[in-house]
Structure 1
Amino acid sequence: MNARLVGSGSDTVVLAHGYGTDQSVWDKILPDLARHHRVLAFDWIFSGAVKDQDMFDPVKYSSLDAFADDLIALMEEVKPGPSVYINSEGYEGGFDISEVEQLLSSIESDFHSWASSFAPLGVDPNDPPSVTKFQNCLKRMRPETALSVAKLIFLGDQRDMLDKVTVPCTFVQTTNDFVVPNSVPGFMAKKIKGKSTVEVIEADGHFPQLTAHLQLLEVLRDVPGFDL
């Protein structure tokens, strides 16, 4: 999983990237985080940054449980102590079923063309370097892996898990996210059992750590118990 642990502090920030990216998506905020915390960054098994892409088993990883097991195993190996988990991926119905079917069909028929067209939708098109970074990360994935994980994400429904979440959560949403509608964080915050807040960043795209990293750091500074 290409795990790396940097920085120092009594607690650990765990950075988990989302679909189509790798741990480099956190590069803009990692130095600030590492000044006050230990930071654990890694690549999910589906990432194009994983050297041996044969390690991805589409049967095993047809459930989110397998990814959870990988993260638990990594945490047990690293033994990070008290941790804050930051995840860059969330999906709760930004597309209707016909749009999802079209998206999956496009990935299956011509993955690289789809990646080229999807990148500026997922990232602020007014930030060409970030669009290029996302596009390059996306295209590093094996097409068959990209399709398998896309099916898991876009056809999955994890809403019944929300009321099992008891830890405090801060949901960060941009004002214009093509992938996740603005109603989603509020819905999730109401459903989970832990104390939760919703923070909105004035930015476009699904990746504020790329296109609005200073604003994201400001949000993190206000998270209770999270020092920067």
Structure 2
Amino acid sequence: MTATKNTAEQVMKRNNVRIKGQTEKVLVFAHGFGCDQYVWDKIAPAFETKYRVVLFDYVGSGRSDKSAYEKERYRTLDGYKQDLLELCDALSLENIVFIGHSVSSMIGALAAVERPELMKNLIMIGPSPYFLNEQDYQGGFEKAEIEGLLEMIKVDYNEFARFLSPVVMQNAERPHLAAEFEQLLCGNDPDVISNFAEATFLSDVREELRKVTVPTLILQTRNDIIAPEGVGEYVHSQIKDSEYHLMDAEGHNPHISDAEETIRVISEYLSAS
């Protein structure tokens, strides 16, 4: 499906789409929970000479059109997946490399299952298909912990941001990273982010992973509290055509904390594929 010009303009505005570079090879960068496209500012420019780089905000995040936000649509990851597919259709994108951080890894996986012809490669940074611990699966969190996080967002969102930032970023010797991430989180609408949090932390995408046929790179960091190494290894085991790379970087946001390594690993994968 190719969107009409008017629809394309609406989607461009709705998702605050930015495009850099003019080559046929397309990289689409998708941000994670609580973030926006500007978290890629240390990464995307490194690829602009060889690729057409597409950056966007999910509706409700960053500088997206907040008036387009519908709570029911974004109650699950399907709404965000639909954003992605509509964006690709609006821009007539095909054979893309999708680079998704955290929950966007799963949004990309859902899109790849629905439209495998759309993607050439998936690159997942810190993916987690399910955050809860079960008898035969360790997602990293007990149910009470997730419920506590979701309640904290509703009761005192700023406190939630202060609590989550150092947990996500790690790298205690560089406290400015956690401070900057806290500031980013605090820029969100608490009601929107509460809905996004439920979609993120309560989703279970495990059954979909085996349906992914797109060649996939899984980037796993060390000391990632949000998506531990065992989870990344699980994702690798479920996606048949996947590669697993354990980075030297620590924490859940290597594209922010360790941009050079992130660029290098992605570049090496793209060159090889």
**1:13 is matched with which residue?**
27
1:223 aligns with 2:269: yes
Selected match of 2:218 from 171, 175, 178: 171
Q: Which amino acid aligns with 1:147?
A: S
Alpha-carbon distance in structure 1 between the residues aligned to 2:85 and 2:272: 22
Selected match of 2:71 from 43, 46, 58: 58
Task: State the 1:107 CA deviation.
Answer: 0.8
Selected match of 2:80 from 52, 61, 67: 67
Q: Is the 8 A contact 2:161 2:185 kept in 1?
A: yes
Q: Is the 8 A contact 1:49 1:140 kept in 2?
A: no
Alignment CA distance shift 1:14-1:226 (3 Å): farther
RMSD of aligned residue pairs (Cα, Å): 1.6
For residues 144-155 of structure 1, the aligned pairs below 5 Å read 144-155=191-202
Q: Is the 8 A contact 2:146 2:201 kept in 1?
A: yes
Gaps of 5+ in 1: none
Q: Which of structure 1's runs of 4+ aligned residues deviate more than 3 A?
A: 224-227
For residues 1-228 of structure 1, the aligned pairs below 5 Å read 1-50=15-64, 52-89=65-102, 90-91=127-128, 92-93=130-131, 94-124=140-170, 125-193=172-240, 195-225=241-271
Alpha-carbon distance in structure 2 between the residues aligned to 1:25 and 1:126: 21
**2:112 is matched with which residue?**
none
Q: Deviations over 1:162-204 (max 9, x none)?
A: 11100000000111111111111211111123x1111111122
Task: State the 1:224 CA deviation.
Answer: 4.6
Task: State the 1:225 CA deviation.
Answer: 4.5
Q: Which amino acid aligns with 1:57?
A: E
Alpha-carbon distance in structure 2 between the residues aligned to 1:184 and 1:112: 28
Question: TM-score, normalising length from structure 2?
Answer: 0.78
**Higher relative contact order, structure no. (Cα contacts within 8 Å, ≥ 6 residues apart):** 1
Task: State the 1:130 CA deviation.
Answer: 2.8
Question: TM-score, normalising length from structure 1?
Answer: 0.93
Aligned length: 225
Q: Is the 8 A contact 1:48 1:137 kept in 2?
A: no
Task: State the 1:226 CA deviation.
Answer: 6.2
Q: Which amino acid aligns with 2:262?
A: L
Alpha-carbon distance in structure 1 between the residues aligned to 2:32 and 2:38: 11
Q: Percent identity?
A: 31
Residue 164 of structure 1: SS of its match in structure 2?
coil
Q: Is the 8 A contact 2:37 2:62 kept in 1?
A: no
Q: Which amino acid aligns with 1:20?
A: G
Task: State the 1:8 CA deviation.
Answer: 3.0
Q: Is the 8 A contact 2:76 2:203 kept in 1?
A: no
Q: Deviations over 1:77-131 (max 9, x none)?
A: 1123321000011333221101101111111110011101211111133333332
Residue 21 of structure 1: SS of its match in structure 2?
coil
